[in-house]
Amino acid sequence: MNYLSTRGGMAPVGFGDAVLMGLASDGGLLLPEAIPEVRDRLEAWRGLDYASLAFEVMRLFADVPDDDLRRMVDRSYAVFRDPEVAPVKPVGPLWIMELFHGPTLAFKDVALQFLGHLFEYLLEQRGGRLNILGATSGDTGSAAIYGVRGKKDIRIFIMHPRGRVSPVQERQMTSVLDGNVFNLAVEGSFDDCQHILKSIFGDVEFKQRHALGAVNSVNWARVMAQIVYYFYGAFRVMDSTGAGRVRFSVPTGNFGDILAGYLAWKMGLPVDRLVLATNENDILAQFFTRGVYRRGEVHATLSPSMDIQVASNFERYLYYRSGEDPRKVRHLMETFRRTGGISVAADASGRIDPVFAAGRGSRELTLAVIRRYREDYDYLADPHTAVGIGVAEDFCDPEAPMICLATAHPAKFPDAIREATGEEAQHAILDRCLNAETRTERMPADEQAVRAFIADHALEAGSETESE
């Protein structure tokens, strides 16, 4: 399987090159040349456990020998605390798929545990070193750090907006003291961090000189790994209910998680509707309800991992919406860069995209959902999941069961849980971080400052392997 840029400015590359490249050299995002059609495999896949299903899905995209891929997949999901990896439970009027049973209690672990092993494997096969640059609005950072901490020939630099992630999320990142881990607290928003990241990756000479790789969802391997749980959740719910199709509600800010669901639908999974749920930072909801995608001010909310106004993975969706025409994508992205907004026309029925529905969850809705689901169903949801549930309730259909993605353990957001329920949400993994030593570097929201730090601390291609 070869990979192309959404902007069409580079020759196709293989899977390994796509993973190590992260962001395409022309500034676009990488996608497979073709999306495999799997309708004839669905029945054979329905009874598989999570790791076996992940192997079957990933081998369609990954040019890795089967034995090696199976070994990486098994190692990745052996560390999850629930044997199902992504258990699905009926809760009230819907189903909840819990994606937070990995090492850092967030859905990002599902992809980043695998990506850490994949990076290590590719470096062993090819030689060389890798310096990972990432930006996080909360959970990506700790999941990425836990995926590569202590791995030889890899260093990781994670930017987070100082004071704009939850205290628990910050401690999960900054209490990892392995010598190959660098946490950068940027004085700005997540969008500032993401802009710095994309600008640095756009400098091909700097990227190559410092062997930079991406761990954010701009990296295709992350999206690939997330496709799996849409199949897994759909199979479990269809088997339990006898339904022929399902709906998914996805709390999202960067469009990576719901993009995986969109690709699962394109592969042939019987998805009736993808419900996109945002908080007050509703640029994506505005697009799928009004056709307008316009940058706005970032608002701090109870669901900080979604406090994003520029969704990096949205370009991949635009590629498919534009008929896989990179010229149209380049025009749209240049217009957005220049004016801060783009718009599209609705179809004849007045819909922007018949696959998507969208809604916005306010602070009041978030707290009300957390409180109501605790009281009525004895289920405690984190604020991101609560946004997904609250929006989903407007789109339930008895013919297509609704599956809400639970993206983080509630103990990661104790203030919101306390405000909604009066309870103290705790987890032993997080308790261990509370009094741990931390290390971080404060930094202005300035690209040159980040570049200088990377240049001073990167593991260069010619240096000796470190043992950390």
- CA 456-462-464 angle, to 5 degrees, is 90
Cβ density class 335-356: b for 16+ within 10 Å, e for less: ebeeeeebebeeeeeeebbeeb
Which residues of 207-270 form beta strands (DSSP E)? 212-214, 246-251
d(CA 118, CA 124): 10
Exactly one of 89, 108, 266, 412 is catalytic; which is it? 108
d(CA 22, CA 299): 28
Say if residues 231 and 52 touch (Cβ distance below 8 Å). no
The residues pairing with 358 across neighbouring beta strands, listed in sequence order, are 276
- Chain CA centroid to CA 209, Å: 27
Residue indicated by tokens 């836990």: 146
SS3 content of the chain, % helix, strand, coil (to 5): 45, 15, 40
Q: Please choose, from the candidates 46, 119, 40, 108, the residue with its C-alpha nearest in 3D space to the C-alpha of residue 80.
A: 108
Residue 108 annotated to the active site: yes
**DSSP letters of 31-58?**
EESSPPP-GGGHHHHTT--HHHHHHHHH
Reduced to 3 states, what is the DSSP secondary structure of residue 342?
A: strand
Active site members: 108
